């Protein structure tokens, strides 16, 4: 399990400042060593709960179900408070959604996909009756964290108040007893340990937005090479290169691979999409011409036709950017 606590997040902020002051450290230096997995492995479509990355504003709060409730207040005609049993009794919807931390580096490990089950946020807000003067919907957590999304996004139909993850009740580390799932946005918007929902008239800035991070938090297009692993030596002139790409609700239209450091690009084969807001797997059959050392890169085009940028950017303030690059040695 990959854990990102507030202490580590702040440590990352310090590393970002260092990387800015020392440009040579950005691509293969501190942040990559701090976050990126050092071993190669095939990503599975659904991330097991105990391997899904964990983030928290502080330590997970103590939740007593007989005392917990979810209040919906603010600019609504009919404020309501739901107990856990009342939440479970409501119609349940299920979605497969990939979440990525805004602090993830290019090809980093702070990303995972799960099947989330819960209640439609739109259904709850429609039942409460949102005022015409409403602008943002604010989500407050039992640990003091909060964040918000625009009302039109909250009413889009795909935002979920989740109470189950991969077929079981939410683990404590993932927001038990209820959390928000906002497809296509960085995980900072998917508030955990929900305790209250407030509909407000102003543009609400959450915890990280107040510290200079993105407020919109829309995920950038990313792609990753899982196999072969960086720095490995492989044998044989026919090799399978594989990995995944992700662009939130925009989806993935195309993935390309370069085996010569970016001089030429070839199309990879795409798997059937797992879900509209989930990562998409790809595969490329590489015919190697001769033994030697090779630099491989991957890039993706999202569903709108926009190509993933090759311009490198560290996570702050609105998510990392750039192309995943690995080096392998091929022997006959």
193 located within any domain = no
309 located within any domain = yes
Cβ atoms within 10 Å of 181's Cβ, excluding its own: 25
284 located within any domain = yes
240 located within any domain = yes
Residue-by-residue pLDDT tens, the chain, 332 positions: 544 443 344 344 434 433 333 233 333 333 443 334 444 789 999 999 999 999 887 889 999 999 999 999 999 999 999 999 999 999 999 999 999 999 999 999 999 999 999 999 999 999 999 999 999 999 999 999 999 999 999 999 999 999 999 999 999 999 999 999 999 999 999 999 999 999 999 999 999 999 999 999 999 999 999 999 999 999 999 999 999 999 999 999 999 999 999 999 999 999 999 999 999 999 999 999 999 999 999 999 999 999 999 999 999 999 999 999 999 999 97
271 located within any domain = yes
Question: What's the pTM?
Answer: 0.88
187 located within any domain = no
* pLDDT value, residue 141: 97
Distance CA 166, CA 245 (A): 21
Distance CA 206, CA 255 (A): 34
The whole domain housing 272 covers 222-331
What single DSSP character describes residue 249?
G
Domains of the chain: total: 1
Check which CATH number belongs to the domain holding 284 and give it.
Answer: 2.60.40.650
255 located within any domain = yes
250 located within any domain = yes
The number of CA neighbours under 13 Å toward the Cβ of 223 is: 33
- Measuring CA to CA, which residue among 2, 7, 18, 79 is closest to residue 314? 18
**How far apart, in Å, do the first and last CA atoms of the chain sit?**
37
């Amino acid at each position: 399990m990959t854990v990102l606590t507030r202490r580590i997040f702040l440590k990352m902020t310090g590393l970002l400042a260092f990387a800015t002051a020392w440009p040579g450290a950005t691509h293969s230096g501190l942040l990559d060593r701090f976050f990126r997995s050092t071993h190669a492995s095939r990503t599975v479509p659904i991330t097991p709960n105990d391997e899904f990355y964990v983030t928290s504003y502080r330590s997970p709060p103590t939740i007593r179900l007989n005392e917990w409730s979810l209040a919906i207040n603010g600019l609504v005609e009919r404020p309501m408070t739901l107990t856990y049993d009342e939440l479970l009794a409501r119609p349940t919807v299920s979605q497969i959604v990939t979440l990525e931390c805004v602090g993830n580096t290019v090809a980093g490990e702070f990303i995972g996909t799960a099947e989330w089950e819960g209640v439609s946020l739109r259904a709850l807000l429609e039942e409460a009756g949102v005022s015409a003067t409403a602008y943002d919907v604010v989500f407050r957590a039992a640990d003091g964290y909060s964040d918000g999304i625009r009302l039109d996004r909250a009413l889009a139909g795909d935002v979920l108040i989740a109470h189950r993850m991969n077929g079981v009740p939410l683990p404590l580390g993932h927001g038990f007893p209820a959390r928000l799932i906002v497809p296509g946005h960085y995980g900072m918007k998917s508030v955990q340990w929900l305790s209250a929902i407030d509909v407000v008239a102003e543009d609400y800035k959450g915890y990280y937005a107040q510290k200079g991070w993105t407020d919109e938090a829309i995920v950038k297009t990313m792609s990753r090479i899982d196999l072969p692993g960086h720095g490995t030596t492989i044998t044989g002139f026919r090799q399978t290169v594989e990995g995944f790409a992700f662009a939130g609700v925009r989806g993935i239209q195309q993935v390309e691979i370069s085996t010569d450091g970016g001089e030429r690009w070839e199309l990879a084969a795409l798997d059937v999409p797992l879900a509209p807001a989930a990562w998409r797997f790809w595969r490329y059959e590489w015919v190697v011409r001769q033994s030697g050392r090779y630099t491989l890169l991957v890039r993706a085009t999202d569903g709108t036709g926009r190509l993933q940028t090759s311009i490198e950017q560290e996570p702050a303030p609105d998510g990392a950017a750039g192309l995943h690059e690995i080096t392998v040695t091929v022997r006959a």
